[in-house]
């Protein structure tokens, strides 16, 4: 092979005349130029080629999967002989590459082929590529170190240098054939460099893994030595593993009367496993963690229940203003427990699970705390919002690393008794995904007929939850799964009037805010008029959260002034101080302005935050008859819109409408808020009739009710919350279904006295009350 030249050409010079040589197939390897090898003549083809090589030369061609390579190696026979086993063999020296041509006739039984010797010509890039390969190969051999006898010989010829990669033991036969068939010297050097770099990367990864394994083994050996030394020290101090096992056995014996037979057997079995495994082993640490968790369960610890109905009522009145119906139902629940306790009645399933449903900030959680205080029991709050994993309730199985018991077991451990009051907060926000459905796990927990044998996946023995008092809270009923809802008794908390908010703010919220800001009772003065103004002009929610935040802002402003000038105490908070602290009041809805034009009606709805006022806007336009509904509406509300349009078309003559087959668009403002339910049926019907008759809806009238296809007004839910919302918004007249008339007794008297409630049975009555009187002139075109 030639050395470096000044020629820029990369063409292979194959101008030498082709010459025939006998072909010897190489079935299991590749021979490269400058190699000296011994070939055993095992096959007839090899023996025939050897016999035919009278000139002393033949061509060695790799044969892989029945296919001959396109390039072979011309070799010269150096010696012929017989191995110790008696097999004939040749010693040959490979000289150069040759391109295999067509087969030709020749002497003997050998296969003769025409060959074209290959001459490779270097280019300007060849020295650079040769240096890259040499550096990579040296780095590869250096990483191998003393584990291999491979070394890079001092070779100047770039083609021969590239062929040295064939000596790498991890190279496959296919790769060696590819290297042999790569005639261009630059391509061969690039190929060799790439393979050497890949091998170097593999070695570095393997070395890194070996180092990590070695470090881990050294750490394990070090820990084993330390454990043996610790065991020796503990033995000297009389604190060996035998004492740890004995301690667990003593703790189990102390619980003999408190645990069930199955639980006792399970704990005893784990203590035996700990004794066999040894405390210092990894398995022993897992067992000991399980035993510690099991013994943390307060077996046999029962809080003495003291039920005094008068005291319970006083506690509820002390902590909560208003909510008379709710407090009365809780007292009834406590009276039932007392009666069953006094008479020794233990009927499975008799105790109901109370679920407090209402908007945020109305006191659901604090009611649970008051019940716990009235019963004299420990109180634990279990937040369910956002839980999507069943293991959060039932615990993780011990097969998982880091497994822990579920939240119910943790609640018992935290309470320190087996009969605490457990508040299941945000029951309506339990989710489900591929990890399971937590609400399904709660079915057993909340069923009094089943929860006496609750099994946690981590502990793997049954726990008696029948003595636990479960109280649940939720903002909405429609998102609680049906089977779960069937196991609880709902107590609705509908929110507060402005007067109730003022009283609660004075009695409960303001003192708490002053304590949290470090102010004394005499540091600030807020009269009732200012407090009423904050409630009326800066709050719109059904609960107390907004009022508490606003009072905290006012208190912080006062505290800042007091720190700057202590002589300013007491600080009198007037309406100007409130405006400075809270900013502009919340603008009230312009009921009169919205309802000036025909086609706008005011409805009432219930959301997760309580009752609310919503407006319905209707218009019509040229186009194919139909109805478009917007405002992020649910399917039920969309069906109500279709019902309203069908009623209009079927009663157009009675309503004085010339043409009801038009293209309508009904929109509910506040489009970012999801809306659903059937109670907007009368509101949509009224808006459409108002649009087509040209009669505006009276601005101070709001309505709610479901409609039928024949115009009947059907009952709806959330009457109290809707009337409270109407009162807050300044509505003076409300239209309700007649079948909801009995629910007016639940509405606070001040609200009921401030509203004129019209009870209706059909749409005609709604329109007669809601629409302005007809004026002479044409109807809407």
Write the pLDDT tens digit of every residue in 461-471: 888 888 888 88
In the predicted model, what is the mean pLDDT of the chain? 82
Encode pLDDT of 40-62 as tens digits. Answer: 888 888 888 888 888 888 999 99
Using DSSP bridges, classify how beta strands 71-82 and 701-703 pair: parallel, antiparallel or unpaired.
unpaired
Q: What is the pLDDT of residue 145?
A: 64
Task: Tell me what pLDDT residue 621 has.
Answer: 87
- CB distance 157 to 49 below 8 Å: no
Q: Encoding tokens for residue 669?
A: 């403002």
pLDDT at position 2: 33
Whether the predicted pLDDT of 13 surpasses 50: no
pLDDT at 778 over 50: no
At 231, the pLDDT band (50, 70, 90 cuts) reads low
- Tell me 506's DSSP state: I
Parallel, antiparallel or unpaired: strands 733-737 and 663-667: unpaired
Closest-CA residue to 99 (of 156, 21, 169):
21
Per residue in 136-179, pLDDT (tens digit) is: 888 888 887 655 556 677 888 888 888 888 888 888 888 888 88
**What pLDDT shows up at residue 758?**
92
Average pLDDT over residues 591-606: 77
Query: Do the beta carbons of residue 171 and residue 165 sit within 8 Å?
Result: yes
Q: What is the mean pLDDT of residues 482-496?
A: 82
pLDDT of 737 above 90: yes
Choice between 277 and 301, residue whose per-residue pLDDT is larger = 301
pLDDT at residue 606 tops 60: yes
Sign, Cα dihedral of 492, 542, 595, 775? positive
Q: Which residue, 218, 290, 643, 282, is CA-closest to 457?
A: 290
Q: What integer pLDDT is reported at residue 777 of this predicted model?
A: 47
Q: Is the pLDDT of residue 95 over 60?
A: yes
Percent of the chain whose pLDDT exceeds 90? 7
Question: Which tens digit of pLDDT belongs to each residue from 669-678?
Answer: 876 677 778 8
What is the predicted pLDDT for the residue at 6?
34
722 is annotated as an active-site residue: yes
* Token pair for 23: 């072909």
Residue 700 known to be catalytic = no
One of 370, 466, 679, 690 is an active-site residue; which one? 679
Q: What was the pLDDT predicted at 349?
A: 45
Q: Determine contact, residues 632/671, Cβ cutoff 8 Å.
A: yes
- Give residue 241's pLDDT: 53
Tally Cβ neighbours within 10 Å of residue 268: 14
How far is Cα 300 from Cα 394, in angstroms, rounded to an integer?
21
């Amino acid at each position: 092979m030639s050395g470096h030249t000044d020629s820029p050409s990369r063409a292979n010079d194959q101008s030498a005349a082709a010459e025939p040589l006998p072909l010897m197939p190489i079935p299991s390897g590749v021979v490269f130029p400058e190699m000296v090898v011994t070939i055993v003549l095992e096959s007839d083809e090899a023996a025939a080629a050897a016999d035919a090589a009278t000139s002393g030369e033949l061509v060695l061609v790799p044969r892989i999967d029945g296919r001959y390579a396109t390039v072979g190696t011309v070799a010269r026979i150096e010696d012929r002989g017989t191995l110790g086993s008696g097999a004939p063999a040749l010693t040959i020296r490979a000289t150069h590459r040759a391109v295999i041509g067509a087969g030709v006739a020749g002497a003997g039984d050998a296969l003769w082929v025409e060959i074209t010797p290959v001459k490779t010509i270097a280019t300007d890039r060849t020295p650079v590529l040769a240096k890259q390969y040499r550096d990579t190969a040296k780095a590869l051999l250096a990483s191998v170190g003393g584990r291999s006898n491979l070394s890079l010989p001092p070779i100047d010829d770039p083609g021969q240098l590239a062929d040295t990669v064939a000596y790498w033991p991890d190279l496959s036969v296919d790769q060696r054939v590819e290297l042999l068939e790569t005639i261009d010297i630059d391509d061969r050097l690039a190929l060799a460099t790439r393979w050497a770099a890949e091998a170097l990367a593999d070695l570095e990864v393997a070395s890194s893994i070996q180092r990590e394994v070695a470090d881990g083994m050294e750490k394990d050996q070090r820990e084993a030595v330390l454990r043996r030394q610790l065991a020796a020290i503990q033995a000297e101090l009389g604190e060996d593993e035998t004492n740890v096992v004995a301690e667990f056995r003593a703790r189990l014996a102390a619980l003999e009367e408190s645990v069930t037979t199955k639980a006792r057997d399970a704990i005893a079995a784990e203590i035996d496993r700990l004794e066999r495994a040894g405390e210092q082993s990894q398995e022993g640490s897992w067992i000991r963690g399980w035993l510690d968790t099991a013994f943390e369960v307060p077996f046999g610890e029962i809080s003495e229940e003291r039920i005094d109905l008068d005291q319970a009522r006083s506690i509820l009145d002390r902590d909560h203003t208003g909510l008379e119906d709710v407090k009365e139902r809780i007292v009834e629940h406590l009276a039932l427990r007392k009666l069953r306790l006094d008479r020794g009645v233990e009927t499975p399933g008799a105790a109901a699970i109370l679920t407090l449903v209402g908007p945020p900030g109305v006191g659901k959680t604090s009611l649970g705390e008051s019940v716990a205080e009235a019963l004299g029991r420990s109180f634990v709050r279990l937040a369910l919002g956002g839980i999507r994993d069943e293991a959060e309730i039932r615990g993780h199985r011990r097969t998982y690393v880091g497994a822990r018991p579920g939240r119910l077991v943790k609640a018992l451990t935290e309470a320190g008794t087996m009969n605490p009051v457990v508040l299941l907060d945000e029951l309506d926000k339990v989710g489900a995904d591929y990890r399971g459905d937590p609400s399904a796990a709660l079915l057993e927990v909340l069923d009094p007929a089943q929860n006496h044998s609750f099994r946690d996946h981590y502990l793997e023995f049954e726990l008696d939850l029948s003595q636990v008092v479960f109280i649940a809270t939720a903002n909405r009923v429609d998102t609680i799964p049906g089977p779960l809802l069937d196991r609880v008794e709902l107590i609705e908390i509908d929110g507060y009037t402005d007067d109730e908010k003022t009283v609660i703010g004075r009695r409960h919220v303001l003192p708490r805010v002053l304590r949290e800001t470090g102010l004394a009772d005499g540091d600030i003065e807020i009269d009732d008029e200012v407090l009423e103004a904050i409630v009326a002009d800066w709050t719109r929610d059904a609960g107390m959260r907004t009022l508490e935040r606003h009072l905290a802002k006012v208190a912080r402003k006062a505290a800042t002034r007091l720190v700057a000038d202590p002589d300013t105490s007491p600080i009198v908070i007037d309406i100007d101080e409130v405006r400075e602290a809270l900013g502009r009041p919340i603008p009230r809805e312009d009921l009169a302005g919205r309802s000036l034009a025909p086609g706008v009606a005011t409805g009432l709805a219930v959301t997760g935050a309580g009752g609310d006022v919503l407006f319905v806007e209707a218009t019509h336009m040229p186009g194919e008859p139909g109805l478009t509904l917007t405002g992020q509406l649910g399917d039920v509300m969309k069906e109500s819109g279709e019902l309203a349009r069908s009623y209009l078309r079927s009663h157009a003559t009675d309503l004085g409408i010339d043409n009801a087959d038009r293209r309508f668009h009904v929109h509910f403002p506040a489009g970012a808020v999801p809306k659903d339910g059937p109670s907007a049926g009368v509101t949509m019907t009224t808006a459409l009739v108002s649009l087509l008759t040209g009669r505006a809806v009276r601005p101070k009238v709001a309505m709610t009710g479901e409609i039928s296809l024949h115009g009947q007004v059907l009952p709806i839910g959330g009457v109290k919350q809707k009337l409270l919302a109407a009162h807050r918004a300044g509505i003076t007249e409300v239209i309700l279904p007649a079948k909801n008339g009995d629910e007016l007794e639940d509405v606070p008297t001040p609200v009921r006295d401030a509203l004129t409630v019209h009870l209706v049975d059909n749409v005609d009555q709604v329109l007669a009350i809601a629409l302005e009187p007809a004026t002479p002139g044409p109807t809407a075109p």
